[in-house]
Amino acid sequence: MEYGKNISVQNAKLWYGDFQALKGIDMEISEHSVTAFIGPSGCGKSTFLKCFNRMNDLVNGCKIEGNFKIGEVDIYDKATDVNELRKNVGMVFQKPNPFPMSVYDNIAYGPRTFGIKKRKQLDEIVENSLRAAAMWEELKDRLSKSALGLSGGQQQRLCIARALAVKPKIILMDEPTSALDPISTGKIEELCEELKSTTTIVIVTHNMQQATRISDKTGFFLMGELVEYGDTDDIFNAPKRTETERYITGRFG
Amino acid sequence: MSIRKIFEAELADLKTELVEMCRLTETMIENSIEALVKRDRELGKSVGEMDKRVDEYEMDIEKRCMRILLKQQPVAKDFREVSTALKMITDIERFGDQASDIGDLVYTMPGERYIKELHYIRKMGDLAVKMVHDSVNSFVQNDEALADAVIAADDIMDELFLTVKNELILLIKQDVKNGDQAIELMMVAKYLERIGDHAVNVAEWTKYYETGVHLKF
């Protein structure tokens, strides 16, 4: 069974204790696409995103049902190695979270975990990852400096570079630009467009314009349900469901 | 007032101004035909002067739309509403241009007796005013059926134009001296027929606004 770049979900249900956060979601995400999840706070979009690399496993009292496949791999199968899953499905969070170590060590951390020790090989990975995140030129002379000294936007892109270092097939982004200025936001959006050729990207965003700019497909979530899922152009031009229209035009509530 | 309410008030103001612009062009078409029928050169000339106000409306509404797009970054039906208004004003401005052209023709036409009854041209004028009125109303009142009626009315307009054209051809064949005036009346008929086409454009944009699909009829 091999990890692929496509995601297939049937009848996803999730409970936090007694509270049902996802109520039977079906979704197919094709490879090399950018998919945006939108919806009001508490609608289940981040919860659903975190199912794809089993981040919800870390939450006490969380129960998950349904069928989740990344490529051929049933990711909730007992035989699935979670570390291997997270190597293939990287994640970038709302708040940049570089490790308190050098730029170099941040990027090399993942590959080292997976057994790569040779300096030359690590050098190559660090350079390629920073190049893929369009940061090589600005950081090549600061590799030994602490990552915590970078700006917020640089830290976030470093986190993307760190995720890329283990060559993931899919990258999950949970509101990756909500704490960033417009210039850093623009750089991350450009990056999404570039990374599409090698990975599949799923992004949670509260920024409607961002969803229209960068995503191919958009899913609108409301109270644990996927209300509408389709081409981004259609969703933002002529949504089929009234709830979607009301939310994206700010009439919701 | 909430941001959403402010936005809705801006959209309402936009529609009010669109209606005002449209009503002005209706008056221009009515006046141009009245000037033609009554051979009132001054009335004809005044239509051209009204066209400046139409141009001002166009610029003003364009600015409103741009400001809304910039400030509100609308999506879905809100976006279609603003983009529809932005496209419509081009056609509404053309209503004014065509009426103004008829007014100019009346002003410069020699004061000879008409070579024919203006019955069908007047019918075309009445229909043009109705199509213009209904096309913009279909948008303002979210009335897709009215937009369909405007699109259907264009067939009647085309038939009337053909009737006028055939009559004028016959008159030229009968006497070449009829030629000059026949060509001028033919131009009036053509301007009115074009107003019908622009009203259809406006109706098509209303349908886009309602459905999200822009079809040409």
A83–B contact, CB cutoff 8 A: no
User: Cβ contacts (< 8 Å) between B211 and chain A: which residues?
Assistant: 238
A64 within 8 A of A10, measured Cβ to Cβ: no
User: Cβ contacts (< 8 Å) between B76 and chain A: which residues?
Assistant: 236-239, 244-245, 248-249
**CA separation, residue B34 to residues B100, B108, B190, B198 (Å):** 13, 15, 17, 21
- Give the tokens for residue B99: 């009426």
Residue from B187, B166, B21, B39 nearest B102 by CA: B187
User: Cβ contacts (< 8 Å) between B144 and chain A: which residues?
Assistant: none
Q: Which residue of A has its CA nearest to B79?
A: A237
How far, in Å, CA of A85 to CA of B54, rounded?
64
CB contact under 8 A, B76 and A237: yes
- Give the number of A-B residue pairs with CB atoms closer than 8 Å: 34
B3–A contact, CB cutoff 8 A: yes
Lowest mean pLDDT among A165-169, A177-181, B34-38, B171-175: A177-181
pLDDT in tens, A58-117: 899 999 999 999 999 999 999 999 999 999 999 999 999 999 999 999 999 999 999 999
CB contact under 8 A, B80 and A237: yes
Among candidates B4, B211, B212 on the partner chain, residue whose Cβ is nearest the Cβ of A250:
B4
Give the CB-side neighbour count of residue B188, counting CA atoms within 13 A. Answer: 31
- What's the domain range around B9? 3-211
Residue from B35, B83, B40 nearest B61 by CA: B83
How far, in Å, CA of B169 to CA of A43, rounded?
70
- The answer to whether residue B34 sits within a structural domain is yes
Residue from B76, B29, B12 nearest B196 by CA: B29
Give phi and psi for A219, each to the nearest 5. Answer: -115, 130
Q: One-letter amino acid identity for A235?
A: I
- Give the tokens for residue B41: 């050169």
Element of type H or E holding B166: helix B144-174
User: Cβ contacts (< 8 Å) between A239 and chain B: which residues?
Assistant: 76
Question: Residues near A60 by Cβ (< 8 Å), separated by ≥ 6?
Answer: none
DSSP code per residue over A76-121:
TSTT--HHHHHHHEEEE-SS----SSBHHHHHHHHHHHTT---HHH
- The answer to whether residue B188 sits within a structural domain is yes
A107 within 8 A of A126, measured Cβ to Cβ: yes
What pLDDT does residue A250 have?
87
- The answer to whether residue B217 sits within a structural domain is no
Query: A-contacting residues of B 74-93, CB under 8 Å?
Result: 74-80
B71–A contact, CB cutoff 8 A: no
Among candidates B7, B73, B211 on the partner chain, residue whose Cβ is nearest the Cβ of A238:
B211
- 3-state SS class at B87: helix
Mean pLDDT value of segment A155-170: 95
- Give the tokens for residue A99: 């490790």
What pLDDT does residue B2 have?
80
Number of structural domains in chain B: 1
Question: Residues near A85 by Cβ (< 8 Å), separated by ≥ 6?
Answer: A3, A53, A54, A70, A73, A75
Q: One-letter amino acid identity for A61?
A: G
Residue listed under structure tokens 């990852």: A129
What pLDDT does residue A179 have?
86
More confident residue, A216 or A187: A216
CATH at B95: 1.20.58.220
pLDDT in tens, A206-240: 999 999 999 999 999 999 999 999 999 999 999 99
- The answer to whether residue B57 sits within a structural domain is yes
Percent of chain A past pLDDT 70, that is, above it, reads 100
pLDDT in tens, A20-42: 999 999 999 999 999 999 999 99
Q: Nearest C-alpha of chain A: how many angstroms from B144?
A: 16
Q: Which residues of chain B have pLDDT under 50?
A: none
CB contact under 8 A, A245 and B76: yes
- 3-state SS class at A202: strand
Residue from B170, B179, B164, B174 nearest B112 by CA: B179
A16 within 8 A of A71, measured Cβ to Cβ: no
What pLDDT does residue A198 have?
94
A121 within 8 A of A165, measured Cβ to Cβ: no
A249–B contact, CB cutoff 8 A: yes
**CA separation, residue B131 to residues A10, A47, B82, B88, B137 (Å):** 52, 53, 22, 14, 10
Residue from A176, A88, A100 nearest A133 by CA: A176
- Domains in chain A, CATH or no CATH each: 7-248 (3.40.50.300)
- The answer to whether residue B150 sits within a structural domain is yes
Query: A-contacting residues of B 116-155, CB under 8 Å?
Result: none
CB contact under 8 A, A238 and B73: no
A64–B contact, CB cutoff 8 A: no
How far, in Å, CA of A17 to CA of A34, rounded?
32
A212–B contact, CB cutoff 8 A: yes
- The answer to whether residue B14 sits within a structural domain is yes
Residue from B39, B68, B209 nearest B139 by CA: B209
Q: Nearest C-alpha of chain A: how many angstroms from B41?
A: 49
CB contact under 8 A, A236 and B76: yes
Burial of A206 (0-12, 13-18, 19+ CB in 10 A): middle
Among candidates B78, B212, B213 on the partner chain, residue whose Cβ is nearest the Cβ of A249:
B78
How far, in Å, CA of A39 to CA of A21, rounded?
13
Residue listed under structure tokens 């027929």: B193
Question: Residues near B45 by Cβ (< 8 Å), separated by ≥ 6?
Answer: B103, B104, B107
Q: Nearest C-alpha of chain A: how many angstroms from B44?
A: 44
CA-based end-to-end distance of chain A: 45
Answer whether residue A253 shows pLDDT above 70.
Answer: no
Residue from B105, B109, B116 nearest B171 by CA: B116
Q: Which residue of B has its CA nearest to A248?
A: B75
Mean pLDDT value of segment A161-167: 95
Q: Nearest C-alpha of chain B: how many angstroms from A235?
A: 7
CB contact under 8 A, B80 and A248: no
CB contact under 8 A, B76 and A250: no
- The answer to whether residue B216 sits within a structural domain is no
User: Cβ contacts (< 8 Å) between A208 and chain B: which residues?
Assistant: 73, 75
CB contact under 8 A, A250 and B212: no
Q: Nearest C-alpha of chain A: how many angstroms from B212?
A: 5
